[in-house]
């Protein structure tokens, strides 16, 4: 592996000096070679699927792994979209002159070598390579073992594209070890790797945080809340809640807990429970919300068996990113209690308040400490594309370097260039 990292470092050195046109030409060629290799990629993917099926992987994981012509086409389209974006490298962030005549410039530069650790979805291979090539970085990918053959086929095609464009193929390296030792080697390769981005579940992130010596960006753990304030428009609150919880429950920007102000709990919760029931969402309710829901739920809901399981909520539920059709519910006595609850259990990802009260919105937006705070909008918008970045490498939940959706710019660092005429320090 060290051999591969040395090659990545050498490739990164070359890539740091490329112009946008060179990099866009490479992205075009990478797309063409993905398309050319479509048959081989689908064959490799069929092998991965067969093995995954045999080893008893659940259906939703098989679906994430599966490629077809339209998914391959989408990968190529993704590369074309990145081509259309501006290149952040070389941007002059700041420039000034010091009284002693020194000319100072702060210039955006690539990181160098970026490691990305991820799980089943093979499109991440192509998306990530596109973003790192565009920003003049080399990438060392460590994909999941389920997608092993697919990732190898994709990487081979990407590297042929780089070669065709006269760029070093080692700008995209896929590690062939898929055990945890390769993760550990990557996150401790301080001389060779400038940044590691782990994309995956909480256990992967936790492992990387614990063992990395390379700087990392933590991504994607989202225990997100929707808070329905005393002054909320309840119809709006209902749509925002349903969208945040049910539009795609398995992703990090989906809501996991509903907080309702006590003044509107009686009016809001029965409707919310019915709509959530229709979406098959299990509710985990605090004492107050449980009593409201039981008292107000129309008999027809029970009779139709529409209402799913509901149970008493625990502190552990409040701390859990369900990533599933489960919602914790709590009635709060005040906006401060809502803010405090989020401070205790939130993961700093995405938090929403629904209210018509400007002061309430102001307090929530300023006091809640999260990457993205929303007023009267669903938490689901925390996404590079929805933010208009045109791309996304992940959602940062740390405060160092980048926060929230990370696009091209977040894959760069900067350097200072200082020009003098012989200045020395006195």
Q: Which stretch binds a second copy (CB under 8 A): 11-19, 138-146, 173-181, 277-285?
A: 11-19
**Residues 346-385: x where in contact with a second copy by CB under 8 A, - otherwise, as a string:** ---------------x---xxx-xxxxxxxxxx-xx----
Q: Which helix (H) or strand (E) holds 331?
A: strand 326-332
Whole-angstrom distance, CA of residue 140 vs CA of residue 194 = 11
> Is residue 190 involved in binding a second copy (CB under 8 A)?
yes
Residues listed for the chain: 426
> Is residue 182 involved in binding a second copy (CB under 8 A)?
no
Interior angle at CA 392, CA 72 and CA 366, nearest 5: 155
- Which residue among 184, 296, 387, 390 contacts a second copy (CB under 8 A)? 387
Say if residues 113 and 9 touch (Cβ distance below 8 Å).
Answer: yes
**Residues 206-245: x where in contact with a second copy by CB under 8 A, - otherwise, as a string:** ---xx--x-x-x---------------x--x--xx-xxx-
- Which residue among 16, 28, 35, 164 contacts a second copy (CB under 8 A)? 16
Provide the 3-class DSSP secondary structure of residue 388.
coil
Give, to the nearest 10 degrees, the angle between helix 38-54 and helix 69-84: 120
Say if residues 404 and 373 touch (Cβ distance below 8 Å).
Answer: no
Residues 6+ apart with CB under 8 A from 280: 308, 325
Of 399-418, binders to a second copy (CB under 8 A) are 399-401, 403-404, 413-418
* CB closer to a second copy out of 322 and 364: 364
* CB closer to a second copy out of 132 and 155: 132
CB of 62 to a second copy, least distance (A): 26
Torsion angles phi and psi, residue 133, rounded to 5: -60, -45
Interstrand relation of 350-354 and 224-228 (parallel, antiparallel or unpaired): parallel
* CB closer to a second copy out of 29 and 189: 189
> Is residue 56 involved in binding a second copy (CB under 8 A)?
no
* CB closer to a second copy out of 63 and 386: 386
- DSSP state, residue 334: S
Whole-angstrom distance, CA of residue 184 vs CA of residue 162 = 28
CB of 230 to a second copy, least distance (A): 17
Residue with tokens 């349903």, as numbered in its chain: 242
Cα dihedral value 406, 408, 414, 419, nearest 10: -150
* CB closer to a second copy out of 309 and 424: 424
Structure tokens belonging to residue 159:
């590297």
**Residues 98-127: x where in contact with a second copy by CB under 8 A, - otherwise, as a string:** x---x-x----x-xx---------------
Contacting positions for a second copy (CB under 8 A): 13, 16-17, 96, 98, 102, 104, 109, 111-112, 190, 194-195, 209-210, 213, 215, 217, 233, 236, 239-240, 242-244, 247, 343, 361, 365-367, 369-378, 380-381, 386-388, 398-401, 403-404, 413-425
């Amino acid at each position: 592996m060290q051999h591969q990292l040395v090659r990545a470092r050498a490739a990164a050195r070359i890539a740091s000096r490329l112009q946008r046109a060179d990099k866009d030409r490479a992205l075009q060629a990478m797309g063409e070679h993905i398309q050319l290799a479509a048959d081989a990629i689908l064959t490799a993917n069929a092998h991965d699927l067969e093995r995954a099926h045999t080893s008893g992987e659940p259906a939703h994981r098989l679906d994430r792994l599966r490629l077809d012509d339209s998914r391959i086409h989408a990968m190529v389209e993704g590369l074309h979209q990145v081509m259309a974006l501006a290149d952040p490298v070389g941007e002059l962030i700041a420039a000034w002159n010091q009284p002693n005549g020194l000319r100072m410039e702060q210039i955006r530069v690539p990181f160098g070598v970026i490691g990305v650790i991820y799980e089943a979805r093979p499109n991440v291979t192509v998306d990530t390579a596109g973003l790192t090539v565009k920003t003049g970085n080399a990438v060392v990918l460590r994909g999941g073992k389920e997608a092993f053959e697919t990732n190898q086929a994709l990487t081979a095609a990407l590297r042929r594209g780089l070669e065709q464009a006269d760029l070093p193929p080692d700008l995209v390296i896929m590690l062939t070890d898929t055990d945890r030792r390769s993760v550990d080697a990557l996150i401790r390769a301080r001389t060779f790797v400038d940044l590691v981005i782990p994309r995956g579940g909480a256990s992967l992130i936790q492992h990387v945080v614990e063992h990395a010596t390379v700087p990392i960006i933590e991504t994607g753990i989202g225990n997100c809340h929707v808070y329905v304030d005393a002054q909320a428009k309840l119809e709006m609150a209902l749509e925002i809640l349903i969208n945040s919880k049910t539009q795609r429950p398995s992703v990090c920007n989906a809501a996991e807990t509903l907080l309702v102000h006590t003044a509107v709990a009686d009016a809001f919760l029965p409707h919310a429970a019915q709509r959530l029931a229709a979406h098959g969402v299990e509710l985990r309710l605090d004492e107050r919300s449980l009593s409201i829901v039981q008292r107000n739920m129309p008999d027809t809901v029970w009779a139709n068996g529409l209402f799913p399981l509901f149970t008493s909520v625990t502190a552990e539920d409040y701390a859990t990113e369900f990533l599933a059709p489960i919602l914790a519910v709590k009635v709060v006595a005040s906006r401060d209690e809502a803010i405090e609850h989020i401070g205790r259990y939130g993961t700093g990802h995405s938090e929403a308040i629904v209210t018509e009260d400007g002061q309430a919105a102001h307090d929530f937006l300023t006091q809640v400490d999260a990457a993205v705070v929303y007023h009267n909008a669903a938490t689901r918008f925390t996404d590079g594309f929805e933010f208009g970045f045109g791309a996304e490498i992940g959602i940062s939940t740390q405060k160092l370097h980048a926060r929230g959706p990370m696009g091209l710019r977040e894959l760069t660092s900067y350097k200072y260039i200082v020009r003098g005429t012989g200045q020395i320090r006195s």
